[in-house]
Amino acid sequence: MYDDEDDDEAIAALDALASEADWDLPPESRAVLVDSLRSPDDAVRRDAVEMLAHSMDDGLAALALEIARQDPVGEIRAAAASALAPALAAWQDAETGGERETPLSRQAAEAVRQGLRQLYYASEGPKELRRRALEASVQAPDAWQEGAVRAAWASADPEWRASAVFCMVRLPDFARELAEALRDRAPLVRLQAARAAGDVGLIEAAPRLLVLAQAADEEPLVRIAAMESLGLLGDRKAMAPLRELAAVPDPELSFAARSALARIKGYEEEDGDEPS
């Protein structure tokens, strides 16, 4: 048994740790995090797993994999898999000549890659865990992921299709599927696709994004994501419709339209600075 006072102390320690979260934790802070990850209290473990996304090293990566495999709470297992993504992305960037600092050694990164692959292929595992494992794994692209993403995209389950779209952004040769996803029957998939189109610079998707942004019967989050991507694409043809959207009474839609316009205008100013 444990009491509420112990829980409060653990949560307070995590709150203090959050203010200094970094790849390289001081020894005393790392000890707090490890203790919290092994706490018998679900809430403490859940908060600690969220910290892992910003505080990672080889040992913590191994512990995150252990939690993803064995924690009794499915939500925490899935969160542990997701928490490995930022560190894996930093390692991949360093491997490909980027300037980001990596918290993982090559050996640890390979163990994470293999562990995530095993979690995805464990067909008896919870769906959310398998989805998060696949999404985290594509931060370091590997040959097996294309087949996994195509299988997810072919699924009748919109959550799997949304995961597929998330992964397509980080893998080559999925431009056609990303364009198709903007017309998917599930709002969740359209939302992910609307975000993805801007992230990958899918300029040919601009007309469809504009349709989504203007559709009064579309989910507001999808409309906002479409506007954000139009801004990222710098689509000048969208400026007049975006000005109309900027005048709508809904404050969130209006703000998204104004933000997209500002970004497009920023692109215009950059182009204007270039020598002819």
CATH number (domain holding residue 81): 1.25.10
Domain span at residue 180 reads 174-276
Question: Reduced to 3 states, what is the DSSP secondary structure of residue 143?
Answer: coil
Write the DSSP assignment of 53-105 as a string of letters.
TTS--HHHHHHHHHHHHH-S-HHHHHHHHHHTHHHHHHHHHHHTT-----SS-
Domain match, 79 and 129 both? yes
- Whether residues 136 and 1 fall in one domain: yes
- The pLDDT value recorded for residue 8 is 52
Same domain as 136, residue 192: no
Which tokens sit at 36? 């919290």
Task: Note whether 122 and 3 are same-domain residues.
Answer: yes
Average pLDDT score over the chain: 90
Please identify, among 124, 142, 160, the residue that sits at the C-terminal boundary of a domain. Answer: 142
pLDDT digit of tens for each residue in the chain (276 aa)? 335 455 455 545 444 444 444 577 788 889 999 999 999 999 999 999 999 988 999 999 999 999 999 999 999 999 999 999 999 999 999 999 877 789 999 999 999 999 999 999 999 999 999 999 999 999 999 999 999 999 999 999 999 999 999 999 999 999 999 999 999 999 999 999 999 999 999 999 999 999 999 999 999 999 999 999 999 999 999 999 999 999 999 999 999 999 999 999 887 666 554 433
Q: Are residues 92 and 185 in the same domain?
A: no
Distance CA 50, CA 48 (A): 5
Rg (Cα) of the chain, in Å, rounded? Answer: 21
- 65 is written with which tokens? 């994999």
Query: How many Å from the N-terminal Cα to the C-terminal Cα in the chain?
Result: 74
pLDDT of the residue at 268: 66
pLDDT tens column, 129-185: 999 999 999 999 999 999 999 999 999 999 999 999 999 999 999 999 999 999 999
Considering the entire predicted model, what is its pTM? 0.85
C-alpha 162/C-alpha 180 separation (Å) is 12
